[in-house]
Each structure stands twice: as C-alpha cells, then as structure tokens.
Structure 1
Amino acid sequence: MITALDKNTALVLIDLQKGTLSAQLAHPAKAVLANAARLLDAFRNASLPVVIVHVNPVGAPWTKTRKQVSMIPADAEGQKAAEAKMQEEGFFTIVPEIMLQPGDLLVTKKTWNAFYETGLHDELQKRNVTGIVLGGVSTSVGVEGTARAASELGYNITLASDATTDRIASAYEHSVNTIFPRISEVDTTDAIIKTLNGK
C-alpha cells in the first residue's frame, strides 16, 4: 500500500513495445496499457520526469555466453541478421498507447535491468530524482530487475500493480506479493495518482 511519493519522483515504464506485448500475457494488455497511459498523463501534468524503457537484447553478454538455444545467435553475423529481422517486425517499437513526448527520456537496455550500462541513473540524478514509480512488462523480468537495481541505488520505489503484467501468472504473483513488498510499496494506478495529486 502506498504511503507517500517523494517530491521528485519519476515514472519508469519498462518494455511496453510491440515485441514484448505480442506474447500471451497473464493480464489483458489493453488494461495494463490503459493504466500505464493514465500514469503518463498524471506525471506529465505534474511536470515530473517520464522514462520510457525498451529492450534490444541483441549483443547482450548473455547472448554470447549461454549454452542453451537462444532466440539471439551468439555470432556477430547472426546477431546482425536477428536485429534486422526484429527491427523489420517492429519488435523494438514502443506501442502507440505510450507515445513519447518532448522531454521524455527514452532508454534502450540490453539486459533485465534498465540501469545497467544505460546512463539512466545519471539522468535521474541530474533531475534530482529520489523516487520511481514502476510499471511495464514483464513483472518478474525487466520490471523486477530494474527495481532491484533501483533499490541498491537508494531510490524509493513504488510498483503500479495494475500497470504491469507477466507472461506467467505465478511469476507475476511472486514478484508482486513476495519480492516487491521487500523493496518497495505496491498499489494500484488509482492510488498512486491520488497520492501524486495530494488527495
């Protein structure tokens, strides 16, 4: 349950792109995106930072070292071909509901963690951000990975539980009910917007 938001809190939305949302999800994508869009409006109206994160796993360290079969080839030529195909299919494209606006930060990550080798922490520090509200896909992967790093960096974290989902319902439940309560507050989009507006 949310108790407060820091004065300088940023909204960070993870991987709301065509490639990740094309999978079968535990919750209807339409509802998750609608809540994420409401958070976007609320943060923009409050003149608070908005960060849109998307993932391009091509070239990530794990793609070069994993022994298991991966959707990303390990060799340079294969990676180039995979990236071209993903680009052609719109994998990296942010969905229309999450339209970028001037002033938004767009961050491209290679791993689960949006802070890892992206400059996100530096950009937030320039804006004196001390708290983040998180949403996106997948709850147990990119959202949780980013939250864990944010916790290590000392940010106050709030998870918008209805602005995130996962491919696996049990993974979503584990993250929301077990992991996030240890490193953040968890509440609904309605409650977060109400707190943001000081009501």
Structure 2
Amino acid sequence: MVTALDPNTALVLIDLQNAIVKIPSSTPMDVILAKAAKLVAAFRKAALPIVIVTVDPRRAGESTIRRDAKSPSFSALPDEALAIVPEIKTEFDDIFITKHTWGAFHDTNLDGELKKRGVTGIVLAGVATSRGVESTARAASERGYNIAFAQDAMADIVDSAHENSLNLIFPRLGEVDDTDAIISMLEQLGSR
C-alpha cells in the first residue's frame, strides 16, 4: 500500500514499445496499457515529470550471442517495432531515455535528468516486471529514490516471476499499490 508520494515524484514507464507489448504476458496488455495511460494523464494534470524509457538492443559492437535462447531477439527489428505504443501519448516535455540493458539507470542519463528536476521519488510501471521494472527499481533504490509500484500497470512473460517481484522484491524497495490508489495520492499532493 502506498502511504505517501514525494511532492517531486516522476512517473517512469518501462519498455511500452510496439514489439515488446506483443509478447504474451501475465496480464492482458490492453489492461496494462490502459492503466499506464491513466497514470500519464494524472501526472500531466499534476504537472509532474513523465519519463518514457525504451530499450534498443541494437547497440553497435554488442555481442550477438544470446544468453537466453527462450527470450525473443530484438536485434533485427525495424525502428517502428521499437517505437512507443500509441496508447501512451507522449509530449515534447517528457523525458525520453533509451537503454540497452534491462535497467534504465545503467549507462543512461536518467539519474541526471531526475536530479536536474529535483525528483526524489518515482512511480514505476511497464514491462517486464521481473526484468526492466525490477532492474530499474533496484538501481533507483540504490540511488536513494522513494519508489511506488503501480502493480496493475505492469506485466511479465512468466506469472511466477511477476508475482515474485511484486510480493518479495518490490516491498523491500518501496511501496506497492494499484493505479487508482497512486492517482489518489497524486491528487492529495495537488490539494496541499
């Protein structure tokens, strides 16, 4: 349960990209995207930062050897496949971060962009729960950010991995709640 949000909280959406959301997941993707879009609208209304994180695995010079043959390979995908899903309406002022690994802080300017804006807390949502979201959460925690997890705005390929992150890992890193509860907390910030 989310008990409070920092006044300087940013929404961080992980890997909501055309090709990635087509991978079968623990929750129907249309539900996840609707919840994520609802969070975007609430953060815009509150005039708080929105971070759109995408993964581009096509980094020059990187090994083409796959560590997990069961996971889909994205190295040969066209740009459109890696574009943000149309359900997430981006704006010019959004912060756009491209990562090349699971975590959004590794080898990116995410920490600097958040610090530049005085952000002290983040709300995390996106896919996959046990990969991109969890890796980003661990790094955010190590950097001192307060974290809220929108549990109904994230999904994973494997149900047990999703449940492990939500029930065992995330409560040690921050607070877990649903989208509506987080939006309610945002509205309370605005009324202060």
What TM-score comes out, normalization by structure 2 length?
Answer: 0.91
Write the mapping of 1:126-141 to structure 2, written as runs, cut at 5 A.
Answer: 126-141=116-131
Q: For residues 107-145 of structure 1, what are the alpha-carbon distances to aligned partners after superposition, in whole Å with 9 as ceiling and x for unaligned?
A: 110001101111000000000000000000000000000
Cross-structure match for 1:193: 183
1:170–1:61 distance in 2 versus 1, CA, 3 Å: farther
Cross-structure match for 2:104: 114
Residue of 166, 184, 190 corresponding to 1:176: 166
SS at match of 1:18: coil
Specify the code of the residue in structure 1 equivalent to 2:77.
M
Specify the code of the residue in structure 2 equivalent to 1:87.
P
Structure 2: tracts of 5 or more residues without a match: none
What percent of counterpart residues are identical? Answer: 53
Structure 1: tracts of 5 or more residues without a match: 73-81
Cross-structure match for 1:76: none
Cross-structure match for 1:86: 77
SS at match of 1:150: helix
Contact 1:60 1:111 in 2 (8 A): no
Deviation at 1:64, TM superposition (A): 5.3
Deviation at 1:178, TM superposition (A): 0.4
Structure 1 runs, 4 residues or longer, greater than 2 Å off: 59-72
Choose between structure 1 and 2: higher helix proportion: 1
Aligned residues: 188
Q: Name which one, 1 or 2, has greater alpha-carbon Rg.
A: 1
Residue of 132, 137, 140 corresponding to 1:147: 137
Specify the code of the residue in structure 2 equivalent to 1:32.
I
What TM-score comes out, normalization by structure 1 length?
Answer: 0.88
Task: Say what the alpha-carbon RMSD is for the aligned residues.
Answer: 2.0
- Residues 1:55 and 2:55 aligned together: yes
SS at match of 2:124: strand
Cross-structure match for 2:31: 31
Deviation at 1:59, TM superposition (A): 2.6
1:61–1:145 distance in 2 versus 1, CA, 3 Å: farther
Cross-structure match for 1:12: 12
1:177–1:145 distance in 2 versus 1, CA, 3 Å: same
1:67–1:169 distance in 2 versus 1, CA, 3 Å: closer
Could you tell me how far apart the structure 1 residues matched to 2:55 and 2:19 are?
9
SS at match of 1:145: helix
